[in-house]
C-alpha cells in the first residue's frame, strides 16, 4: 500500500515541480520584486521599525507581533532543520544557494499575500478578533467563492494533516535515533498532549508561539554561531562550495544543477512558505492601523527564516563536513553534524529542541486548518472531525517513512502554491496600491492609517471603515 501511494505521489510531484512551480515561484517572485521596487532591500529598515512597534495591542486582540509569531511557529520547525539537511543530501551544498534566492525574491511574494489578507480580513464573531487569508481574498477580492473553497480544502489537508505528519515524523525519528524510543509510543504521547492544547483557541496558540519560537530560534542560531566561529577559517571554502555546487560546477554527474535547484526551491518553500498562502491566515488576525505593516512584518519573517535559521543548519552541516558521510539524511544528518563538533550530548539536545520546534509548528499548522474550515462551514461538528483527523495524522507521521511524508508534503505544498500564486498575481495591483499609500504617509512623517477609501474603487472590504480608529 505504501509503495503504491509513493508511486502516485512521485508522478504528481514530477508534473508540479518540473516546470509549473518553477515559473510561478521564481517568475512571480521576480515580478513582485520589480513591481514593488525591491521592497525587501528598500524597506528593510522599515520592517525592523514596524516589528519593534508591533507588540503594543488593544486588550483582547492579537497584536501584529503575535500574528507574526503564529506564522513563524509554522515556518520555523522541521523545515529549517530536517528540510535543509534533506536538501543538502539530495541536491548537494548548492541547494543552499537556491534556498537563499527563493527567500529573497519570495519575501516580496509574502508581502503581497499578507497585505491582501489584511485588506480582505473579516470580523470573527466568536472571538471578537479577525480572521482571513487566501480563501477570503479569493472570494472577496476576485469574487471567486469556488477558488477560495478549493484553497481552504488544500490548506486544511496540507497543514492540518500532511504537514503535521511531517512534524511528528521528524520528532519520532530524532528520538529513536538519540534515545532508542519507540516511535508509536512517542506518537501516542504527542497526540494526547496536542489534543489537550488545541482546545484552547487561537489566543492560547499565539501565547505559546510568541515564547517558544523566539527562545528556540535564539538557542539554535547560537549553536550554529559557535560552530561557525570555531571553524571560521573554513568560511571562504564553505561559501565557495555552495556557489560552485549551485551551478553544478563541482560535480561530474549530469543533472547536478537541476538537483540543487529543485531541492533548494522545494525545501526553501517548505521552510519559509513565501507565496504558499499559509502565513496570510495568521497575518489576517492582527490588529493594525495599515495592511502594509503586517505585509512588511511577514516579509521580514521569510528573510529571518531562511537567511538566518536555515543558513544556521546549512553551516552546521557544511562546516563539519557531515554531509560527506553516506547513509545520513534529514534530522539524522543534522544530529551527526552537531555531534561531530560539540559531542554526543548535542545530538540528544537537538532531539529535544526539535520536539519543541515541531510542537510549536503543530500549533501554527493546526490554526491554519481551523480558520479555513470556518470559511467552508461554521458548524462545530466539522471542527471536531478536523481535530480528530489531525491527531490521527500525528500518529501516522510518527510511524511512517521519512520519504513518504516529505513527498506528500511536496504535493500539497505545490498545489497550494499554484492556486495562491494565481490569485495574488491577479490581486497584486491592490496590494501594491496599499504599499504606495503606506510609503506616501511615511514620507509625510505620519504613522500610516488605512481606510477602505485609501484605494479608489476598493470593494467587498469589511474591516477598514471610514473611521480609522475602528481598525486599531
Q: What is the pLDDT of residues 333-357, one digit of tens each?
A: 888 887 787 777 777 777 777 777 7
Strands in 192-277 per DSSP E: none
Containing 131, the helix (H) or strand (E) segment is strand 130-131
pLDDT value at residue 376: 83
Q: Taking every pair of C-alpha atoms in the chain, what is the biggest distance, in angstroms?
A: 64
**pLDDT band with cut points at 50, 70 and 90 for residue 45:** very high
Over range 389-400, report the average pLDDT.
Answer: 91
Bigger pLDDT: 371 vs 118: 118
Query: What is the reported pLDDT for 54?
Result: 66
Predicted structure pTM score? 0.82
Residue 329 pLDDT level (bands cut at 50, 70, 90): low
Angle 380-399/183-197 helices, nearest 10 degrees? 160
Extract the C-alpha cell encoding 394.
Answer: 500525528
Residue 139, pLDDT score: 94
Q: From 1.10.645.10, 1.20.1740.10, 3.40.1390.20, 3.40.50.300, which CATH number describes the 2-444 domain?
A: 1.20.1740.10
Average pLDDT of the chain is 81
- 167-171, 176-180, 213-217: least confidently modelled range: 213-217
* Per-residue pLDDT at 302 exceeds 80: yes
For residue 27, what are the CA distances in angstroms to 20, 39, 275, 303? 10, 16, 12, 18
pLDDT at 471: 45
> Is residue 177 very low, low, confident or very high in pLDDT (cuts 50, 70, 90)?
confident
| All cell numbers assigned to 217 | 530560534
CA atoms of 166 and 404, how far apart (whole Å): 9
Higher pLDDT pick, 148 / 257? 148
Q: Could you tell me the residue ranges of all domains in the chain?
A: 2-444
- Model confidence band, residue 426 (pLDDT cutoffs 50, 70, 90): very high
Amino acid at each position: 500500500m505504501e509503495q503504491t501511494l509513493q508511486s502516485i505521489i512521485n508522478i504528481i510531484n514530477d508534473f508540479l515541480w518540473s516546470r509549473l512551480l518553477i515559473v510561478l515561484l521564481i517568475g512571480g517572485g521576480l515580478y513582485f520584486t520589480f513591481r514593488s521596487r525591491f521592497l525587501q532591500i528598500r524597506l528593510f529598515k522599515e520592517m525592523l521599525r514596524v516589528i519593534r512597534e508591533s507588540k503594543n495591542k488593544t486588550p483582547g486582540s492579537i497584536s501584529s507581533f503575535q500574528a507574526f509569531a503564529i506564522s513563524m511557529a509554522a515556518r520555523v520547525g522541521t523545515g529549517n532543520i530536517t528540510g535543509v539537511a534533506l536538501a543538502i543530501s539530495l541536491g548537494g551544498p548548492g541547494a543552499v544557494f537556491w534556498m537563499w534566492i527563493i527567500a529573497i525574491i519570495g519575501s516580496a511574494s509574502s508581502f503581497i499575500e499578507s497585505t491582501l489578507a489584511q485588506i480582505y480580513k473579516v470580523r470573527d464573531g466568536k472571538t471578537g478578533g479577525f480572521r482571513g487569508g487566501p480563501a477570503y481574498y479569493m472570494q472577496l477580492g476576485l469574487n471567486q467563492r469556488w477558488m477560495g473553497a478549493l484553497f481552504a480544502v488544500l490548506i486544511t489537508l496540507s497543514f492540518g494533516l500532511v504537514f503535521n505528519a511531517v512534524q511528528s515524523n521528524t520528532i519520532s525519528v530524532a528520538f529513536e535515533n538519540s534515545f532508542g524510543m519507540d516511535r508509536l509510543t512517542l506518537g501516542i504521547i504527542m497526540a494526547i498532549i496536542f489534543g489537550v492544547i488545541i482546545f484552547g483557541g487561537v489566543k492560547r496558540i499565539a501565547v505559546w508561539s510568541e515564547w517558544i519560537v523566539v527562545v528556540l530560534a535564539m538557542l539554535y542560531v547560537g549553536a550554529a554561531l559557535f560552530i561557525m566561529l570555531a571553524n571560521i577559517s573554513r568560511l571562504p571554502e564553505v561559501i565557495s562550495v555552495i556557489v560552485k555546487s549551485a551551478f553544478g560546477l563541482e560535480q561530474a554527474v549530469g543533472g547536478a544543477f537541476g538537483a540543487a535547484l529543485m531541492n533548494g526551491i522545494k525545501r526553501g518553500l517548505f521552510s519559509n512558505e513565501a507565496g504558499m498562502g499559509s502565513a496570510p491566515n495568521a497575518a489576517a488576525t492582527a490588529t493594525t492601523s495599515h495592511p502594509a505593516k503586517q505585509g512588511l512584518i511577514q516579509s521580514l519573517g521569510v528573510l529571518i527564516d531562511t537567511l538566518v535559521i536555515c543558513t544556521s543548519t546549512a553551516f552546521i552541516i557544511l562546516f563539519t563536513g557531515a554531509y560527506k558521510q553516506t547513509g545520513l539524511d534529514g534530522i539524522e544528518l543534522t544530529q551527526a553534524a552537531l555531534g561531530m563538533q560539540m559531542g554526543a550530548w548535542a545530538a540528544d539536545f537537538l532531539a529535544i529542541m526539535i520536539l519543541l520546534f515541531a510542537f510549536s509548528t503543530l500549533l501554527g499548522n493546526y490554526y491554519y486548518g481551523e480558520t479555513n474550515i470556518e470559511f467552508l462551514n461554521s458548524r462545530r461538528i466539522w471542527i471536531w472531525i478536523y481535530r480528530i483527523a489531525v491527531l490521527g495524522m500525528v500518529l501516522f507521521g510518527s510511524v511512517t517513512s521519512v520519504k513518504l511524508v516529505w513527498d506528500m508534503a511536496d504535493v500539497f505544498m505545490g498545489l497550494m502554491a499554484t492556486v495562491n500564486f494565481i490569485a495574488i498575481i491577479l490581486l497584486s495591483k491592490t496590494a501594491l496600491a496599499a504599499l504606495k499609500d503606506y510609503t506616501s504617509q511615511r514620507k509625510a512623517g505620519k504613522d500610516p492609517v488605512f481606510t477602505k477609501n485609501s484605494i479608489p474603487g476598493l470593494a467587498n472590504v469589511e474591516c477598514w471603515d471610514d473611521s480609522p480608529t475602528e481598525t486599531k
